[in-house]
Amino acid sequence: MRKDFFAPPAAWDEAADVIIIGSGLAGLAAACEAAGQTGRVVILDKMRYYGGNSVLAGGGFASWDSKLKLRQKLGLGEDSAALHMGDTIKGGGNYSIPALVKVMVDGAPSALDFMIDSGVPFKDLLAKVGGYSAPRAYHTAVSGKVMMDCIKKAALGAGAELRLGSEVTKIFRDMESGEVQGLEVKTANGAVSIFARRAIIIASGGFGRDSALRKEYNPMLLETLPCSNHKGATGEVIRYAKAIGADTLHMEFVQLFPSANPKTGSLDPWAFYAYTGTGFGMIYVDDVGRRFVRELAGRDEVSNAQINSCKSPTYAVFNAAIIDKLGMTPKEVETGLRLGRMVRGESVAELAESLGLPKGALCDTVSRVNAALEREQPDPDFGGARGGGEMLPLTQGPFFAIPQWPSVHYTMGGVRIDETARVIDVFGTPIPRLYAAGEVCGGIHGANRLGGNSLADCVVFGRIAGIGAAGENLR
């Protein structure tokens, strides 16, 4: 532990009741709760823009229930907290801490209701994506930026203050009491120290953009892989937390998103459609027109199959019926075709020709899948069921394809927390007055995060952290 990170300054420049590091969904959810229960709440973000990776989110929110009652409305069968928990732990390779997963899944419905009450609209869509045993992914009807505008409005409306261009450079901890005291913050006008009268919440996000840190924990991960994260996802606050004794875990687990734009590594709307569409019958094919993976496998399995056995790009293949299921607008289709993010063919053979794939191979692949689906047979290529009753055959055109390739997307590791979002030190003891929430935390998703669990995690633990921090005694 770095001793120069311990001793607080002789005099503080200012004070706040609760200080939140990071203005993504976890930080703003925490601010909504804290600002409603205590005095001054300050949100700090080093970037000149707010929102972190959350403004880039595709809008999938995993929850087994909500006030929208879409499962019942759409006739999609049963789901439960137990199923959600089991899927999350299995999807994470059994590395997740069950107690943390339970908090997330139990709190997911009220967290989704919090989003709705904050003004975020949702589609009448409940999707089954990789690793799910039931349709569970609600989807916002707006972009990640608009979603975050709603949550920011709620946080500022509750009385929180947002400061951009404010980079945390040090965490002060009193080693006699063990309590965190405040922060050193670099601003355009120089460094300032801020005293936390109640607590500090770390919601600074992951470290996907820090290739050196990724390589430190996962040397096998290619540094040349593109990254979907915003530029500020560099993880230095994890290092500062470690410097005052915080424990970390699962830092070696870095998730790739299999459907990113192959040219940029970004997650545009078509990347999210290429991922979500697998629950409705979309198939993935390689550069010779053959399926190479079970589409509803986890993101890690799909990405590994692409990197290990395919050339860039691979393709998500679907038809107009699946476009309708996804709620893709005519404008999105038109724009996707104009930008080359989508390719169209009136027939499967025409689509293959447009993609430069062998016609016979792609036609045979589609025919095999359609025949198995029609006869209710197991997956003809990988065995077992391909999905539930929402799976549509690729029989009627027009047909479409979205080029895709893996991109570094999410870091499952970070600081260790307990069920009340308190940061735990290397000796297994909570660090007094220090909380954390969101991607900066480890232990929840294990080796691989399932789609939609990120927003649920951020809101559930962000709100818990905000309530806990606001409830600390004043000093």
Active site residues: 299
Buried b (16+ CB within 10 A) or exposed e, 117-141: ebebebbebbbbbbbbebbbbbbbe
Q: Which two tokens stand for residue 442?
A: 């480890």
Residues constituting the chain? 475
Q: Which residue has the tokens 């709100």?
A: 463
**CA distance linking residue 147 with residue 132, whole number of Å:** 24
| Closest by CA position to 276, among listed 263, 289, 257 | 257
Asked if residues 160 and 42 have their Cβ atoms less than 8 Å apart, the reply is: yes
| Closest by CA position to 168, among listed 247, 253, 243 | 243
| Closest by CA position to 55, among listed 277, 217, 231 | 231
Q: Which residue has the tokens 């169209």?
A: 344
**CA distance linking residue 325 with residue 126, whole number of Å:** 10
**CA distance linking residue 43 with residue 183, whole number of Å:** 12
Asked if residues 333 and 283 have their Cβ atoms less than 8 Å apart, the reply is: no
Q: Which residue has the tokens 């229960």?
A: 37
Q: Using the Cα atoms of residue 382, residue 387, residue 392 and residue 398 in order, give the sign of their dihedral.
A: negative
| Closest by CA position to 59, among listed 268, 232, 230 | 268
| Closest by CA position to 89, among listed 76, 78, 105 | 105
**CA distance linking residue 470 with residue 475, whole number of Å:** 12
SS3 288: coil
CA 399-401-402 angle, to 5 degrees, is 150
**CA distance linking residue 437 with residue 450, whole number of Å:** 17
Q: Which two tokens stand for residue 340?
A: 């080359």
